[in-house]
Amino acid sequence: MAGDLVNLLADLKENEVMALVKQRLDAGEDPIKILDDSRKGMGIVGQRFADGEYFLPELVFSGELLKQVTEMVKPHLTKAVETKRLGKVVIGTVAGDIHDIGLNIVDFMLDVNGFEVYNLGVDVSAEAFVAKVKETGAPIVGLSGFLTPAFDAMKETVEAIEAAGLRSKMKIMIGGGQMDDEVRKYAKADAYGKDAMAAVALAKKWVGAS
């Protein structure tokens, strides 16, 4: 039964997923177990994306399914959900750039791979990145950008992290649209990741989890 929800979610069977969740809740099952299964299902979605079997539409749709499941389960929760995490990552699209498709894929993939993600959204100032790193103590920052003005914004963000005295304690990765290793050098970041899978691999390497 438990395996069913995992696979139904991984296979994106909307109606079956919702019917099964309802059935399990009605049967008085621990909602935490349902969320655990959902998380496993999302893990398979992430794996299929990494394997090139799933693409952006499947990620978006699975995210919607998870949202629906969470909404159904929430009223039944009596205690906060605790999940063990590999580490914290702060991500965001740099100042002057408002694109977030790639950013959200990275968010999704880091999340299903066990990271605690602080997604600051788009047009994020260097100060906001610094503040979030200080607040969370995250050892990893991911800078996203789609357009060429992001080159300078990335450089400025790395410099701000440096000026705040945080640089030596952390790793910074960049990615998105027109980014590549040339931009990585220009911005003085630690690594460029060509896609969300690369972001996961880098983050895992940096927290010693790979």
Interacting residues toward another protein by CB under 8 A: 12, 14, 54-57, 60-61, 64, 95-101, 123, 147-149, 151, 177-180, 182-183, 185-186, 195
Alpha helices in 74-125 (DSSP H): 101-112
Nearer Cβ to another protein, position 2 or 98? Answer: 98
Least Å distance, CB 207 to another protein, is 26
Query: Sheet containing 87-93: which strands, arranged edge to edge?
Result: 115-119, 87-93, 140-144, 171-175, 191-192
Residue number with CB closer to another protein (108 or 115): 108
- Least separation in angstroms between residue 62's CB and another protein is 10
Q: How far is the CB of 142 from another protein (least distance, A)?
A: 17
Cβ nearer to another protein, comparing 103 with 110 = 103
Residue (185 or 205) nearer to another protein, CB: 185
Nearer to another protein, 83 or 148 (CB): 148
CA dist., res. 174 & res. 151, Å (int): 10
Instruction: Give the nearest distance from C-beta 182 to another protein in angstroms.
Output: 4
Q: Which long-range contacts (CB under 8 A, 24 or more apart) does 186-194 make?
A: 186/151, 186/154, 186/155, 187/143, 187/151, 187/154, 187/155, 187/157, 187/158, 188/155, 188/158, 188/159, 189/143, 189/154, 189/158, 193/142
Amino acid letter for position 124: V
Q: How far apart are the first and last CA of the chain?
A: 31
CB of 67 to another protein, least distance (A): 11
